Each structure stands twice: as structure tokens, then as C-alpha cells.
Amino acid sequence: MRLVFLGTGTSFGVPQIGCSCRTCTSSDPRDRRSRTAALIERDGRRLLIDTPPELRLQLVAARVDRLDAVLYTHAHADHVHGIDDLRALSLRQGAGLPAYGGATTLRELASKFPYIFDPTLQAHPGTSRPELIPHPLDPGVPTMIAGMRVLPLALPHGAHTVFGYRVGPVAYLTDVKEIPDAARAQLGGLEVLVLNALLARPHPLHLSIPEAVAAAQQIGARRTFLTHLTHDTPHVELAAGLPSSIAPAYDGLVIEVDAA
């Protein structure tokens, strides 16, 4: 199994528009953080998690030419507004892409992008549109998707609920403020845990870096990677201050995972 970090930045992205801070002007490529997304690959099958605004560039950089399904964490703009870039893949594959997520998230997507999800709206002759087939998931109920056992977990993001996903030995949790006991009970024995870690200071909607470290240590995965990072801390500095089993992710990072 492979985990590919397509994007690891917060909603502003890094560099942030109009900013000349040390991270935004850094020459370290790990400090260039597009909006958050990831791929999970196993036995030639691919699951995409979220469709951020830079999706086209991310998929081109990762040399992705096909997908088996899309998993959505929630419907905030920085996680979904690259959805039209799936058009190239649904056209290439000649079939609709299955899109999974919570029922509320899928309803929000259908409301925002009716031309994708409303079957009565057809593309004008000579043009095309993305083809996505929605499949609502229930939290805590595992589902086989593209030959992989996917367990959706309901997690708080302020007043909203987002879905994290456990796929075998990998769990991907982003835009969460805390890990409730019920979700934590489903995260034992992980090889790789991915957690959002926004800032050194507390934030009302996201885990802070210290909170993410504490949650990672409680969960006890062999390796934890932090994502949804801001321009507040350069990669090298953030990495130097973390425990040995925890590291900041960066765009393009590929993690090989023993799925046995």
C-alpha cells in the first residue's frame, strides 16, 4: 500500500497571497503547500481523498491517469473546489467515478455543483462534464471500495462533522478539532496516522500542533504525519521540534506501508 500526499497546506495555501514571511519566501520545496488531498493506492487501485483547488496540478505531478473512487471528508471550499478536474478522468475512463462521503457532504456537493450530480442536466452537445456517482457512507460502518476496506469516522470540525477514513493500516484525519473516544477506539494498530495540525496556538476548528502531537501519542501509530499546515512554521523547524515518530508531511511525499 502507498500513501501519496498530493497537498498538505491549509485553506490559504503556502505561499500565501501577498505574504513575504520566511516560509512563503523559502527556497525549500517542502514549504510550498497546496491545499490538502491524498491518494491511497493498493494493488493498482487508487482512492483519492478530496478535490482541492490545485487538483489538476497535483494529479499531473503524481502522474495519475485513473482513479477508482473519491472519498470526501467534507464540503469546504479548500477540499472540494477542484472537483471539475475530475472531468478529465471520468472522460478518460468512460464511466462515472464513484464519490463517497457523509450524506450531508454529498448533499452539499450536489447543491454546489448541480451540473455534476443532477442527472437531468446534460452537457451541451460537443462539450463534457465530470461524471460522479454519489454513495453516502454511514460513520462507523466499513465499506469495501475498490477492493479496500474503508472505515469512515465521524469527527468534529467546529459545528460541522467531517469524515476521517481508516483504510487498512492507514488513517487519514483532517480538519478535526478533537478525536472522540468512539473514533479513537477504531484507530488501534495503525502503521500510519495522518492528522491536521494547524498552528502552535489553539484554534477553534482545528487541532493545534501540540494537540495533534498529544492525540498521535494517545493513538500510538507507528508513524504519524501532520498535514493541513500553515505558513507559520517552516518545514525544517517544525520537523526539528517533533517527537521521532511524528513528522510534517509535504506535497509529493510518498509513504510505503506494509498492508499485510
Task: Tell me the pLDDT tens digit for each residue of 214-233.
Answer: 999 999 999 999 999 999 99
Task: Tell me the pLDDT tens digit for each residue of 109-120.
Answer: 999 999 999 888
How far, in whole angstroms, is CA 72 from its chain's centroid? 8
In contact, 38 and 64? CB cutoff 8 Å = no
Paired with 197 in beta bridges are none
Distances from the Cα of 115 to the Cα of 14, 93, 104, 129, angstroms: 31, 19, 18, 7
Phi, psi values for residue 88, rounded to 5°: -60, -35
> Looking at residue 30, what is its pLDDT?
98
pTM higher than 0.85: yes
**CATH, residue 21:** 3.60.15.10
In contact, 52 and 86? CB cutoff 8 Å = no
> Looking at residue 124, what is its pLDDT?
84
Instruction: Give how many domains the chain has, as a whole number.
Output: 1
In contact, 88 and 65? CB cutoff 8 Å = no
In this predicted structure, the answer to whether residue 259 has a pLDDT above a threshold of 80 is no
Task: Tell me the pLDDT tens digit for each residue of 168-213.
Answer: 999 999 999 999 999 999 999 999 999 999 999 999 999 999 999 9
In this predicted structure, the answer to whether residue 126 has a pLDDT above a threshold of 90 is no
In this predicted structure, the answer to whether residue 158 has a pLDDT above a threshold of 90 is no
Placement of cell 454519489 in the chain: 134
> Looking at residue 155, what is its pLDDT?
97
> Looking at residue 167, what is its pLDDT?
98
pLDDT band at 94 (very low <50, low <70, confident <90, very high): confident
Task: Tell me the pLDDT tens digit for each residue of 46-77.
Answer: 999 999 999 999 999 999 999 999 999 999 99
In contact, 212 and 225? CB cutoff 8 Å = no
CA 129-130-134 angle, 5° bins? 135
CA pair distance 133, 135, nearest whole angstrom:
7
Mean confidence (pLDDT) of the chain: 96
What does the block give as the cell for 172?
487519514
Q: Count other Cβ atoms within 10 Å, centred on residue 125.
A: 5
Write out the residue range of the structural domain in which residue 20 sits. 2-256
Give 253 or 95, the one with higher predicted confidence: 253
In this predicted structure, the answer to whether residue 260 has a pLDDT above a threshold of 80 is no
